[in-house]
Structure formats: C-alpha cells, structure tokens
Chains A and B, each alone.
Chain A
Amino acid sequence: MKLKHLLLSMLFAMMAVTSTVQASGHDTVDTQPTQVEKAKNNQEYTSKSISQLLESFFQTTGLNAMLHPKEGVKNGQGVEMSLFSQGWGRLIMFIIIFLLFYLAIAKGFEPLLLLPIAFGGLLANIPIANMTGPHGMLGIIYDMGIANEFFPLLIFMGVGAMTDFGPLLSNPKTALLGGAAQFGIFGSLVGAAALSQYTGMVDFTLKQSAAISIIGGADGPTSIFIASALAPELLGAIAVAAYSYMALVPVIQPPIMKALTTEEERRIVMKNTRKVNSLEKLIFPLIVIVMIILILPDAAPLMGSFAFGNFAKESGVVDRLSNEMQNSLINVVTIFLGLGVGSKLASDSFLVAETMGIMVIGLLAFAAGTAAGVLMAKLMNKFSKEPINPLIGAAGVSAVPMAARVVSKVGSEAKPGNILLMHAMGPNVAGVIGSAVAAGVLLSIFK
C-alpha cells in the first residue's frame, strides 16, 4: 500500500516537473527584471495593471526561479549559485530525495533519520525561500545544534542510556574486536588520500579525508560530529552515506564474513557468558571517563555524554532522567538533527564530484572494518583458551544493534540453534567506544 502511494506521488511529481519543462518552450513572455527593479526603487506605489501584477508575481514564483536561473543568485550562505544548481540541479535533487523517501518508507532503511534528512533536503531546495539561510528554518536549526556539534552529543547521551554493557563486561577481551574494526576508518583514510593524490577525480584535503573515513566507524552521530568539526561542506553527503550504509549492514556484511571464514569456524559454539554484577555496570562508565581523562581528552564530548547517559541508566535512581534521554530527548533531537543535516542536501552543495567519492570511500570503509574485525577474531580464536567464533568480529563496527543481529543470523545459518547475539553485543558496544576514540584521535591531530 505504502509503496503504491509513494509511486503515485512520485509519478505526480514527475508529471508536474515535465509539464513545467514543456511550458518553458511556450513561455515567450519576456521577463523584464529591469522594470521590476525600477518599480522597487520607486518608493511610492504606482498603479499597476492586472497583467503587470501577474507578471511581477510570476517573477517571485519558484517556477520562474528554476526555469530562468539568473547569474548572481546567492544561496543561504551567501555564496553564488551556478545556473545549473538553480535549475536542473534542483530537479535532480528532488529525484534523489524521492529515492531517499522510497528507501526510508518502502524499504525501511533507517527511516528515523533518512526521512527527516530527506525532508530537510526537500525544503532546502525550495528556490527563493532561502530556508538554509541564517534566518531560514533549516539554517536556524543548523546553527543551533549542528554547526556547534551539539545535537550528535545529545544523541550519544540517549544511546548511552540505551546501551547495556553487560555482554562486554562478562567477556571483556572481545572489546579488542571493536578496536580492530576501526581499521575501516583509518584504512579508508589512506584510501581517500590515495584517491585524491593519484587520480584526478576528487581533490580531498587531509581534513576532508578524515571526515569521510569516519563513515567506517558505522556510527551516525560520530560521523556527523566529526564532519561538522572537520569538513562541514561535506556534511550532507557524509551523513547520507553513513546512514544509508548502516541500513545496508545486512547486505554488505554477510558476503565479507562468509568469504573470510570457513564453514567450521562459523559453527563454533561459544561458552555461555557469566552473570554481571550490577555494581560492575555502574562503575564501567566511570572507568571510561578515567581513561578519557588520562589518555584522550579530545574524545571527552562524545564519551562524556555517552558515559553520562549510561551512568544515569545503571544508577537506577534517576529512571525519569534516563527514560527522558532514551525517548523524548533523543526523538526531539533526531528531528532537529535530520532536518539540519538535510539543509546540506541543497543542490549546490550536494551535486558535486566529491559526493560520489564519499559514497565509494564510505562503502570501502564499511567493508574494511568488517573484514578487519573478522580477521582479528580469527587470530584471537587461535590464541584463546575459550573458542571464539570469528563471526562476532564483524559486529565490531558499531551499527548497534544491527551488526550484532547480522552476526547472529549468519551464525545460526551455519549451525541452527547457535545463538551468537549476546557474544556479538560485546564487540558491538566496544565498537561504539572504539569509533569515539578514533574520532578523538582524528580531532587531536587537526587541533
């Protein structure tokens, strides 16, 4: 049903668009901007005929703005837009946005973020309205919480309040798998640098390469946090890539996992995890903070809000606060974050060669992270006394809890009844810490 509605609405939009394009052929009315400008300069209002009124109204329509792009029109940030991005660029963006709607609604790809992002993109591409400017709705949202990296931190707080570190605490050494998977970040950083150094396709600076490679951390808020700190001009493409690939985890990961493991390895049954003392869970966020204090203060914003959320949850005495973080707060912020990121889907900032580069590098980053996690788990299995199923290494890319679910599914395909979910949750939440640490390292480099 939903699909039908969507297709209908897309068809309708396409029809509207083609009819306007056809109309442009018949449209022989000479637009006379000079006259309008003169009239504007006239302080006093002079009587206008109805045809003049209609004509001057036509000047203010989006139809006119898209059909007759003018030199010197500025976008919300005051940068001049090319003729292409005023006309055809907007059309292409509308099509891309409908594709995102389709993915979010019909395919269920991370709808909670893709839908607001896509709608923000739709609004950002409205001509004349200047939604992304400093006084436009999207511009205000962007300045309020994305330009200063605030919203991703609030999301992290909520994620912290939702995360249960029990599986990690019961089998702590699996945390190292969450570290190995961060190879996706640094491997693709080298990839991005090589792409811009040896091929002429894209020209990323080191900062931009770093911001792109964080997609390999498979963690939406971290990606947005780093992108707005290091390369805000690429934010839209990075966020879209990060969230679409996170949604594609069940498609991207299994082939890599199967290629790198043998049937026997996938059948490995892991020991039951021990019960974790609730005091351990309570103290864990504090240990993380101590580590941040001693080793990596640059990761303090991300890990600090994450640990706060988790501490509030595990303390058990502020359920009201932790429920707020897990539900209402994270929902409100998700709306703002989505719309604000969507403002970067304006045609002039999204339709650039770099976007394709970001999509490719992002995919490589995901694949490399998965592969590194699995290989590390294989290695650990060789040296560990207790058997470790190499599949759980793939959960080391964050993407909580999707990656862990994928691991469990692939595991039970190889051996029905072998439930790896809890074992995979360990590297999975460690992956969140790992990518925040990697983000902190990148931030510290560019200080």
Chain B
Amino acid sequence: MEIDLVGESLKFMVLGMTIVFIFLFVLVQLVKVQAKIINMFFPEKVPSATTPPSSSQESDHVAAIIAAVTEFRKNQ
C-alpha cells in the first residue's frame, strides 16, 4: 500500500513539536524550582567587596606598564 508521505510527515511534525515543547517546558519548570531551592538553602557566598578595588588597581598598574613598554619599543 502506498503511504501518504505528506500525511505521515504532518503527524510526525505534530508529535515532534509537542514532545520538544513538553520536554523544554518541564525542563524550564524544574530549573525554576531548583533555582528556588538552591538559593534558599545554599546561597552563594558573595565575594567580599575588598578584593575588587585592589585588583582593579593592580590592573591599572599593569596597563600603565604595558603602555610604557609599548611606547618605549616604538621609540627604539
């Protein structure tokens, strides 16, 4: 018997898109729930605010040094 290719493939489309959406929808819900649970019981320790300024200061120093070196090399 000749199979109606288009008809079959339309059915595949309905099945496929439904499964993909159900899968991702459930996944989204699970992710939301886990985010709530995890942030309730194991909140991430916020890194102390003292480190960032020092590191940015350091990177300023590094930037200054790099600039100086490139300038020096240009002049050579």
Q: Does B24 contact A (CB under 8 A)?
A: yes
B12 touches A445 (CB 8 A): yes
Q: Which of chain B's residues has its CB closest to A187's CB?
A: B13
Q: Does A1 contact B (CB under 8 A)?
A: no
Q: Does A176 contact B (CB under 8 A)?
A: yes
How far apart are the CA atoms of A290 and B23 in the complex, in Å? 11
Q: Cβ of B15: which chain A residues have Cβ within 8 Å of it?
A: 441, 445
Q: Which of chain B's residues has its CB closest to A440's CB?
A: B19
Report A194-206 CB contacts with B as 1/0, cut-off 8 Å. Answer: 1011100000001
Q: Given contacts A206-B9, A445-B15, are A433 and B35 in contact (CB under 8 A)? A: no
CB distance from A138 to the nearest CB of B (A): 33
Q: Given contacts A186-B13, A433-B27, are A295 and B34 in contact (CB under 8 A)? A: no
Tell me which residues from 276 to 291 in chain A have a Cβ below 8 Å from any Cβ of chain B: 276-280, 283-284, 287-288, 290-291
Report B1-30 CB contacts with A as 1/0, cut-off 8 Å. Answer: 001111011101101110111111111101
How far apart are the CA atoms of A161 and B26 in the complex, in Å? 23
Report A373-411 CB contacts with B as 1/0, cut-off 8 Å. Answer: 000000000000000000000000000000000000000
Partner of A442, one of B6, B10, B16: B16
Q: Cβ of A187: which chain B residues have Cβ within 8 Å of it?
A: 13
Q: Does A330 contact B (CB under 8 A)?
A: no
Q: Does B44 contact A (CB under 8 A)?
A: yes
Q: Does A8 contact B (CB under 8 A)?
A: no
Q: Cβ of B24: which chain A residues have Cβ within 8 Å of it?
A: 175-176, 178-179, 430, 433-434, 437
How far apart are the CA atoms of A445 and B42 in the complex, in Å? 42
B38 touches A280 (CB 8 A): yes
Q: Cβ of A172: which chain B residues have Cβ within 8 Å of it?
A: 27-28, 31-32, 35
B25 touches A176 (CB 8 A): yes
B23 touches A295 (CB 8 A): yes
B23 touches A291 (CB 8 A): yes
Q: Given contacts A284-B31, A291-B23, are A442 and B44 in contact (CB under 8 A)? A: no
CB distance from B26 to the nearest CB of A (A): 6
B19 touches A295 (CB 8 A): yes
B28 touches A183 (CB 8 A): no
Q: Does A345 contact B (CB under 8 A)?
A: no
CB distance from A201 to the nearest CB of B (A): 14
B20 touches A190 (CB 8 A): no
Total A-B pairs in contact (CB under 8 Å)? 122
Q: Cβ of B42: which chain A residues have Cβ within 8 Å of it?
A: 277, 279
**B interface residues, tally (CB under 8 Å):** 32
Q: Given contacts A190-B6, A291-B27, are A279 and B20 in contact (CB under 8 A)? A: no
Q: Does A169 contact B (CB under 8 A)?
A: yes
Q: Cβ of A189: which chain B residues have Cβ within 8 Å of it?
A: 9, 12-13, 16
A206 touches B3 (CB 8 A): yes
A175 touches B27 (CB 8 A): yes
Q: Does B48 contact A (CB under 8 A)?
A: no
B23 touches A183 (CB 8 A): no
Q: Does A123 contact B (CB under 8 A)?
A: no
Q: Given contacts A193-B9, A209-B5, A279-B42, are A441 and B30 in contact (CB under 8 A)? A: no
Q: Does A234 contact B (CB under 8 A)?
A: no
CB distance from A166 to the nearest CB of B (A): 12
How far apart are the CA atoms of A437 and B17 in the complex, in Å? 10
How far apart are the CA atoms of A196 and B3 in the complex, in Å? 12
Report B25-69 CB contacts with A as 1/0, cut-off 8 Å. Answer: 111101110110011001110000000000000000000000000
Q: Given contacts A175-B24, A179-B21, A277-B42, are A193 and B16 in contact (CB under 8 A)? A: no
How far apart are the CA atoms of A206 and B10 in the complex, in Å? 11
How far apart are the CA atoms of A40 and B24 in the complex, in Å? 65
A197 touches B5 (CB 8 A): yes
How far apart are the CA atoms of A275 and B45 in the complex, in Å? 12
Q: Does A210 contact B (CB under 8 A)?
A: yes
How far apart are the CA atoms of A183 and B30 in the complex, in Å? 24
Could you give 9 example pairs across A and B, Cβ below 8 Å?
A172-B31, A175-B27, A186-B13, A190-B10, A196-B5, A206-B5, A277-B38, A434-B24, A445-B15
